[in-house]
Amino acid sequence: MTSFETGSLEEEAIDELDIAPADGWNALYLDGEWVPAGDRDGIDVENPATRRTLTSVPSATEADVDEAFAIAKSAQEDWAERPPQERAAVVSRVRDLVGEYADDLETLFAVECGGVELKAAFETELTQGTMEVGAGLAMRDGGRRTESVTPGKENLLVREPAGVVGVITPWNFPLYLTSRVVAPAIALGNSVVLKPDENTPLTGGLVLASLFEEAGLPDGVLNVVPGYGDEIGDHFSAHPTPSVMSFTGSSEVGRRVGQRAVGQFTEPALELGGNNAHVVLSDADLERAVDAGAFGSFTHQGQECISINRHLVHESLYDEYVAALAERAEELPIGDPREEGVLVGPVVNESQRDKIVGLIEETVEAGATVEVGATVEAGGDHDGLFVEPTVLSGVTNDMPIAANEHFGPVAPVIPFETDEEAVELANDTEYGLSGSVHSADVSRARDVADAMETGMVHINDQPLNDEPHVAFGGVGASGMGRYNDEWILDTLTTLKWISVQREPREYPY
Ligand code: NAD
């Protein structure tokens, strides 16, 4: 089924949704106030399915960033002194509000991000999960007492909040990727300045401000400055105030943000790009591997850091795998995410579309074959952003679609002869985020998983997995540090060694 009835559904007046602030979204959120745009430039929020402008938000200036960090700094200590159960209760209340506003959120995920109903459900569930785990951290300060080599001394390791946390996030799972830092940061007694992506300033930022405000978060603990990365990003990432700079986005920008943060002795936490391989060994169950391959490639139009970027398939299964995957791709209903039953929506913007299409074209020029897809549907009377689910065969690891993170609904399929070659191909990338291996023999799959240089690998599944209580992160150009549960606790707190010399100590002189 293909449905390009874009615009056939009324777009909600998104400034009038129940979740919206009283005067609409055109404001910064500073010190608990919705600060009107004034004479700042605006950022248009566009529905990628219809290309209609839905609303506008202010484009924050460097002075706004300075003000936000100053507010966050002055609010942090009081917040950290609140009892942990009070901090946890605010985050838990936000989790409940996410459920209460699920319909508004589904609308926003569709019209701001191009997310279909299924994606909205995933994102809502993940957001609630990370808030539940994050709230729990308030009670798990993790300090401890240790032995001392000095007679009569007691060693205590005391955990304290890091302080002010700067947060920069992308557009693909904006509410979740923002919440997985903001929720634990706030529960642990930090304050936050958040810069959402310019494509998704609502679900990536202002929505969260609205929810935390309703949940009773004290003024100044969360501040949101929507803005263009290339205008305020450098000022934000090299700001002297924050103790932690959390960045989720591309490796290119992440490297720059990390370097600038370190220049201020601010700890960077970087969750970056991926070039994830879905490895199908010779003894794999073909149907399971294809089901997993379709889900891992086409969910949310392939716009996840942990999507499948390359399918590596044993030569004995190759033709059958390509044919079955192409059949699955062709069946996927494409259209306006608000149409019932649609599974593939638009990609987020023109530059992403052009990048994906350009990589497909260059790969075909290099000798690959389009089995299905590769066309862009206009979606009505506008320049469309619907890239059809695409399967490419005859691909080699060095062709552009495989060598780069394409971030689109594209499945390049690459043949291999031996397990060793599969590992070599999988690892032939600067990234190391996620991956998957299919085999009837779990210990054989384990050997391959062990040899894959990634932060995460899933056996007899696909790479697109995230559980809020399990360590998430990559190696190499995919990032530094781990998110979720106790692993982000280390990032968002600092350990202080306090020793008590209980008996007089004998010094050498
Ligand atoms: P991007 O790096 O272009 O943008 C991400 C954020 O960085 C946005 O908020 C943007 O405004 C900001 N930014 C841009 N220039 C900046 C600068 N000079 N200084 C500071 N901030 C700046 O990434 P994108 O295209 O929005 O997102 C897609 C990328 O994110 C992909 O590479 C994807 O793999 C990655 N990603 C990683 C994870 C993960 O958990 N590892 C999750 C989602 C997305």
Q: Judge whether 46 counts as a catalytic residue.
A: no
Q: Give the amino acid at 112.
A: E
- Report the nearest atom of ligand 1 relative to the CA of 168: 9
Domain 276-459 has CATH 3.40.50.300: no
pLDDT single digits (tens) 194-216? 999 999 999 999 999 999 999 99
CB of 175 closer than 6 A to ligand 1?
Answer: no
Q: How far is the CA of 169 from the centre of ligand 1 (A)?
A: 6
- Which run of H or of E encompasses 106? helix 102-113
228 by DSSP, 3-state: which? coil
166 and 245 in contact (C-beta within 8 Å)?
yes
Contact call for residues 189 and 87 (beta carbons, < 8 A): yes
The pTM of this model reads: 0.95
459 to 122, 437, 463: CA distances (angstroms): 21, 5, 9
Query: What is the spatial distance between Cα 333 and Cα 309, in angstroms, rounded to a whole number?
Result: 21
Q: Could you tell me if the CB of 225 is within 6 A of ligand 1?
A: no
CATH code of 14-272+478-495, in short, is 3.40.605.10
Residue tagged active-site, from 46, 106, 271, 304: 271
Q: What per-residue confidence (pLDDT) applies to 375? A: 84
Count the residues in the chain: 509
Output the six-digit token pair for 11: 């777009």
Return the ∠ at Cα 71 (arms to 73 and 484), rounded to 5°: 60
CA of 348 to the centre of ligand 1 (A): 13
Cβ atoms of 29 and 69 closer than 8 Å: no
The reply to whether ligand 1 has any atom less than 6 angstroms from the CB of 230 is yes
CA 488 to chain centre: 14
Distance CA 134, CA 431 (A): 28
Q: Which residues 6+ apart lie within 8 Å of 254 measured at CB?
A: 247, 270, 271, 272, 273, 479
How far is ligand 1, taken at its centre, from the CA of residue 266, in Å? Answer: 19
Domain boundaries, the chain: 14-272+478-495, 276-459
Q: Using one digit for the tens of pLDDT, what is the confidence trace for 65-97?
A: 999 999 999 999 999 999 999 999 999 999 999
Q: pLDDT for 350-398, tens place per residue?
A: 999 999 999 999 999 999 999 999 888 765 555 789 999 999 999 999 9
Report H helices in 366-509.
Answer: 400-403, 419-427, 442-451, 485-492
Decide whether any atom of ligand 1 lies within 6 Å of the 178 Cβ.
no
Query: CB within 8 A of 297, min separation 6: which ones?
Result: 278, 307, 308, 311, 329, 389, 409, 410, 411
Helix (H, G, I), strand (E, B) or coil at 294: helix
pLDDT (tens digit, 9 = 90+) per residue, 116-132? 999 999 999 999 999 99
